[in-house]
Structure 1
Amino acid sequence: MIRFICVAIFLVVFLILSIPVFFVEWLIGKKNRETRDFSSLRIVQWGFRCILRIAGVETTVIGLENVPDEPVLFIGNHRSYFDILLTYSRCKRLTGYVAKKEMEKIPLLSTWMKYLYCLFLDRHDPKQGMKTILTAIDYIKRGISICIFPEGTRNSGEELSLLPFKEGSFKIAEKTGCAIVPISLNNTAEMFEAHFPKIKKTHVVIEYGAPVYPKDLDKETRKHLAPYFEQIIKETIQKNVEIV
């Protein structure tokens, strides 16, 4: 419980101290948008790393060198709020995450998310969902990577289970031709969700798979990218359970 309290205090203090930082970042952005973008990225990554240290997480990272130096579509399994901290703190390029619409209502946090090209997806409005995908496509074309969890929500089932991947998540890569990089995460729910509200010192495994360009796949596979990548991540988390 002490870790939970410490993380909560750090997050609140970070967000409050962010208020004058937003103004400084806004001024930087008026002169040089790219400088502001990377400045915001590094500030948030620093905050995430601090939270992970407070939480006592031990991380084994495999295949980070697989991520090409170009805008890509990251897709991964999703079992914990900490999945975002664990992966975003390792992004070398600007990367926008696709989050649920409700996140847009959180003061200050949503401001950081907008600074960092995060998108808010309304899962109950297909029309708005399509607009979000189109914006993500535009971001990729502008050189910004996108990360999305194709299960559509956090999976609270068995550790090695996956919810069915949604095909719409892969439209971003289909329309831009960018590489898809699968991220497989093991044991992240043990940090928090498995024993809410306690945060437990945990060993997690993150594996970045080889980038896959849709154009290099056969025609039939291109029609069904969701089950193809679902199988890749399923096999990877089953393999990595031995490391945990």
Structure 2
Amino acid sequence: MAPPAWRRWPWLALNGVQLGFTLFWTAGWICLALLLHALSGGARRLPLRMASRCWAPGLLGGAGARLEVEGLERVDWTRRYVLVANHESVIDICALFRAVPVPLHFLLKQEMAQVPFVGWYARAMGMVFIPRDNRRAATASLRRAADLVRGGAILCVFPEGTRSRDGGVAPFKPGAFQAAIDAGAEVLPVALEGAGAVLPPEGAFRVRPGTIRVRFGAPLPLAGASGPYDRQALAERARAAVLALLRGA
């Protein structure tokens, strides 16, 4: 049975304030980041670190989210990686920006390029947009993603292709793993837990306090004893690693 309407009003009012804060906080920090990007002649490191150290902590705090990070000691952050994570909520991006101790890039769906502020920032930072309905354009985007990683960037991919509606982890699409193969970068599995409860993937903006856990696994090599893995095999191994992390293994 749904709670009485009067009990929902305080939450609706609070969520309205949180939504306003989210929009203004995001627009303000992106404007500052883009200004510094322009004044520095196109340098990206500082604007990317602003996302990690200023923007993301503010949004997590505004949502009442407590971040727990596990497994950082398993990773040599001087190496190149393609991070692959399950996807519960839009707040996943905040959690990953905050948890990863080096500048982070994302492979984003093409629609994000049209979002004011967020799309402008992502494009200026060299992030890659991938169309979901044009195979040739998607292949070109994956080539750009591989070039980005070859140049030393850490790239994060959500290989399910969309946010989970039920908390499960859908099969990983193999295409995104081509960027890791082409760049010669190890695949780093990352498990996100609790983000969907803090900010559900469906419905109106509805935030509830909670804990978001980010668990890093051991990097996965691109080859085994019998030779290199193809992208389907990498996708299956990465999904199995993420599921194990979600089980606490």
TM tier, shorter chain? 0.7 to 0.9
Q: Percent identity?
A: 20
Q: Give per-residue Cα distances to partners, 1:134-193, cap 9 Å, x unaligned.
A: 001000111011110111111112x2x211111111111111221111001112110111
* CA 1:217–1:139: 2 relative to 1, 3 Å: farther
Instruction: State how far apart, in whole Å, the 2-side matches of 1:50 and 1:41 are.
Output: 15
State the 1:197 CA deviation: 2.9
Residue 79 in structure 1 maps to residue 79 in structure 2: no
Residue 10 in structure 1 maps to residue 18 in structure 2: no
Q: 1:89 aligns to what SS in structure 2?
A: helix
**Contact persistence 2:107–2:130 (CA under 8 A):** yes
1:205 aligned residue: 213
* CA 1:2–1:73: 2 relative to 1, 3 Å: farther
2:7 aligned residue: none
Structure-to-structure mapping, 1:102-141, within 5 angstroms: 102-141=111-150
Instruction: State how far apart, in whole Å, the 2-side matches of 1:86 and 1:217 are.
Output: 35
2:102 aligned residue: 93
Instruction: State how far apart, in whole Å, the 2-side matches of 1:140 and 1:72 are.
Output: 7
**Contact persistence 2:86–2:191 (CA under 8 A):** yes
State the 1:229 CA deviation: 1.2
Structure-to-structure mapping, 1:138-157, within 5 angstroms: 138-157=147-166
* CA 1:147–1:236: 2 relative to 1, 3 Å: same
Instruction: State how far apart, in whole Å, the 1-side matches of 2:62 and 2:13 are.
Output: 10
Instruction: State how far apart, in whole Å, the 1-side matches of 2:176 and 2:86 are.
Output: 13
Instruction: State how far apart, in whole Å, the 2-side matches of 1:55 and 1:87 are.
Output: 15
Q: Give per-residue Cα distances to partners, 1:49-77, cap 9 Å, x unaligned.
A: 10001111122211012232222100011
1:162 aligned residue: 169
Instruction: State how far apart, in whole Å, the 2-side matches of 1:100 and 1:214 are.
Output: 25
The gaps in structure 2 that reach 5 residues or longer are 1-11
- Of 208, 212, 223 in structure 2, the residue corresponding to residue 215 of structure 1 is 223
2:4 aligned residue: none
**Contact persistence 2:63–2:207 (CA under 8 A):** yes
Residue 67 in structure 1 maps to residue 75 in structure 2: yes
1:172 aligned residue: 179
The gaps in structure 1 that reach 5 residues or longer are none
**Contact persistence 1:177–1:215 (CA under 8 A):** no
**Contact persistence 1:97–1:117 (CA under 8 A):** no
* CA 1:21–1:233: 2 relative to 1, 3 Å: closer
TM norm structure 1: 0.87
- Of 234, 242, 245 in structure 2, the residue corresponding to residue 236 of structure 1 is 245
Instruction: State how far apart, in whole Å, the 2-side matches of 1:139 and 1:220 are.
Output: 22
2:35 aligned residue: 23
**Contact persistence 1:177–1:213 (CA under 8 A):** no
Q: Give per-residue Cα distances to partners, 1:198-227, cap 9 Å, x unaligned.
A: 200011221100112213464385461111
Question: Which structure: greater helix fraction?
Answer: 1
Structure-to-structure mapping, 1:12-51, within 5 angstroms: 12-14=23-25, 15-16=27-28, 18-19=30-31, 21-28=33-40, 30=41, 33=42, 36-45=43-52, 46-51=54-59
| Alignment-mate amino acid for residue 148 of structure 1 | V
Instruction: State how far apart, in whole Å, the 1-side matches of 2:90 and 2:31 are.
Output: 24
* CA 1:203–1:24: 2 relative to 1, 3 Å: closer
